[in-house]
Amino acid sequence: MLGRFGICCTLLAVALQVCLASVTVKVTPEVEVIKGETVKLPCSYTISAPASIVVQWLIEVAGARKQIAFKSPQVIDVDAGTTMTDRLTMEDDLSITISPVMVEDERIYICQVTAGAVGFSEDKTQVKVFFAPEKPTITGNNQAITVSPETSTSSEVGKCISRNAYPQPRIIWFKDATPLPEVKDQKEKAYMIPSVVKEASGLYTMTSTLFMQPVKADAKSVFHCTVEYSMPNNQIKQESSDKFNLSLLYSTETVFFKLKNQGPVKEGDDVLMECETDGNPQPEFEFYKEDAQLTVLKGTLEVKNVTRKDAGTYKCDALDFDAEEGVELTKTLNLTVHYLDPVAVTPEGPLLPAKGDTVELQCKTKSSDEYTLQWKKDSKVLSQTGVLTLQSVTLADAGVYLCVGAVPSVPGLRKQANVTLTITGAPEIAAPLNGLVDKEGGMVTLNCSALGYPAPQFTWTPSGKESVTVVGNKVISTVTLQASAAVLKDGVICEAYNSHGRDSKNFKVSIKSDPDKSSNPNAANRAEKQQGGSSAVVIAVVVCVLLLLLLVALLFFLSKKGKLSCGKKEKKDVASGEVKGGIVVEMKSSEKGNEEAGLLNKPHAEQ
């Protein structure tokens, strides 16, 4: 009885152990991968009791499971006859690797572990495949669309194509950077017709055709499409097409006729007038001036080197036969041409007044606007009116006088005329510039500049190598000669003469100072200061001596008059050093002479 009970307990214990034994499998629930890359699917398990393990990787095909790889205690292998046989490997760690990944590899993979009597378990992993599409392209957008109030049907605006994407992307249309509502109802004025094609590779090609009833304002709008697609890690990305404009045809509503020139038009300018409409395409144009038809190129009228005769009213006619009734197709433009007549100078030159005469110059002109007249000589303004009066002219007044006329309100409108004034008279030599030589006998060059008309002749005394040049209304004579003793003493004389008289100037020639002395100005300054200081000392000493002599003379004079008491007793007092009630001065004639001599000799000792 006890034996049977023991056997039952043993069997019960074994059965309980078997029932409590289990296998647990763990995989990555979801794995994302880019088409063409490599994906690895890991699998691991835990078991509560030792057992013989068989691991299988399975997929579902047509509702049935199919093994693609397995591992037993004896072997690891990949099943033949599947779409991934050549791209699949299984590792010792029970993971499988697919390379390269194809779109068709997106499915559920099952890792199943069988442990004999212990049992079996499995877990599933989802593989998701992604692939970015190509840049979308636009077709069918080059056709012209007629815009008319009578149009009631929508026209194809463009077709957006996005190729080779996975998973299926989405196409969005934009007008001026604003997304258009995704409308598929063809009764609406703007709608889209989408289509999708799955290629043999498993990738998707998306197409979206946009239809619209465009209006005139859409001619300035910019359109494009964007493909929106998914990528790993929940990324949403976009790729946009090139932008394009619509080719719209619409009739004229307004004509524009304008002058292209900037600022006032003056004689000599090239004038450009442009006529255009707000229609498309632009119609033909006809131009008229005072009812006379002009030959033009399309909508541009050009008048070269315009004159005052070209001023007037111009008319442009737009020949748009599709325009609505009542639309004004004619516009006019008034052209104003500013002008300034040539400046006339009186009296006409050249003029030959004599020195000391009074000369009056006048200039006149005419203009379409207010103008100014200025007389100038050597860029210096001499008069702000058209009249210039020169009182008692000198030889220096000779030259070219310019009268400039200008219209301040029209930039660049200027005219000018000139007159040449030549003053007749005896020569006048400019102040001479003295010459310097290094030593006696050296060569020196002197320039003698003179005014006068007729042009003066020159004589140098003594003479040398001479040449003459003319600068403006000045005649310059240049001489090069030897600086002899006579030249250093008396100089060189330049004489200029013509039919009205003559003038002469003496040019001094000297030897240059010692460079050693001139190169040390500080030493010279110190010597000059020392000399000045010694002179001051001498003057001070002489003044003191004179004052002392004057004092002695005064005392002597008072003594002779009896104003001072000078006796033997007083002399003794002075000798003994006793002084009572005043000052007593006693000087012997010999002592006085010695003192004066000492004072006179003292300054010499100091010097």
The structural domain count of the chain equals: 5
- Whether the per-residue pLDDT at 142 is higher than 80: the answer is yes
Q: Which of 395, 423, 451 is the last residue of a domain?
A: 423
Q: What is the mean pLDDT of residues 150-173?
A: 93
185 exposed, middle or buried (CB, 10 Å; 0-12, 13-18, 19+)?
Answer: exposed
User: What mean pLDDT is reported for the chain?
Assistant: 85
- Whether the per-residue pLDDT at 2 is higher than 50: the answer is no
Q: For position 441, which CATH number holds?
A: 2.60.40.10
Q: What pLDDT does residue 421 have?
A: 93
* 65-110 pLDDT, tens digit each: 999 999 999 999 999 989 999 999 999 999 999 999 999 999 999 9
Distance CA 298, CA 439 (A): 86
For the ranges 50-54, 162-166, 222-226, the lowest mean pLDDT is seen at 50-54
- Whether the per-residue pLDDT at 572 is higher than 70: the answer is no
Intra-chain end-to-end CA distance of the chain, in Å: 166
- Whether the per-residue pLDDT at 52 is higher than 70: the answer is yes
Question: Do 179 and 166 have their domain in common?
Answer: yes
383 exposed, middle or buried (CB, 10 Å; 0-12, 13-18, 19+)?
Answer: middle
Q: Is residue 536 part of a domain?
A: no
Residues of the chain with pLDDT > 70, as a percent, come to 85
* 383-435 pLDDT, tens digit each: 999 999 999 999 999 999 999 999 999 999 999 999 999 999 999 999 999 99
Going from the C-alpha of 423 to that of each of 27, 385, 471, 508, 584, the distances in angstroms are 118, 23, 16, 30, 89
Residues of the chain with pLDDT > 90, as a percent, come to 70
Are 203 and 164 a contacting pair, CB within 8 Å?
yes
545 pLDDT band (50/70/90 cuts)? confident
Which has the higher per-residue pLDDT, 533 or 373? 373
For residue 171, the tally of other CB atoms under 10 A from its CB is 23
Please give the single-letter amino acid code of residue 414.
R
Q: Which of 279, 306, 335 is the last residue of a domain?
A: 335
Are 377 and 402 a contacting pair, CB within 8 Å?
yes
- Whether the per-residue pLDDT at 529 is higher than 50: the answer is no
Q: What pLDDT does residue 76 have?
A: 93
- Whether the per-residue pLDDT at 551 is higher than 90: the answer is no
Q: Is residue 388 part of a domain?
A: yes
11 exposed, middle or buried (CB, 10 Å; 0-12, 13-18, 19+)?
Answer: exposed
243 pLDDT band (50/70/90 cuts)? very high
Q: Is residue 569 part of a domain?
A: no
DSSP-derived secondary structure letter, 181: P
- Whether the per-residue pLDDT at 129 is higher than 90: the answer is yes
Q: What pLDDT does residue 21 have?
A: 55
Q: Is residue 82 part of a domain?
A: yes
Question: Do 476 and 503 have their domain in common?
Answer: yes
- Whether the per-residue pLDDT at 311 is higher than 70: the answer is yes
Going from the C-alpha of 569 to that of each of 540, 574, 575, 587, the distances in angstroms are 39, 9, 10, 15
- Range(s) of the domain holding residue 123: 23-129
The model carries a pTM of: 0.57
Distance CA 584, CA 492 (A): 74
* 245-295 pLDDT, tens digit each: 999 999 999 999 999 999 999 999 999 999 999 999 999 999 999 889 998
222 pLDDT band (50/70/90 cuts)? very high
Question: Do 48 and 139 have their domain in common?
Answer: no
Pairing of strands 43-47, 96-98: unpaired
Question: Do 404 and 439 have their domain in common?
Answer: no
472 pLDDT band (50/70/90 cuts)? confident
335 Cβ partners below 8 Å, 6+ apart? 259, 265, 271, 273, 310, 311, 312, 313, 314
Distance CA 249, CA 145 (A): 6
Question: Do 431 and 370 have their domain in common?
Answer: no
Distance CA 60, CA 115 (A): 22
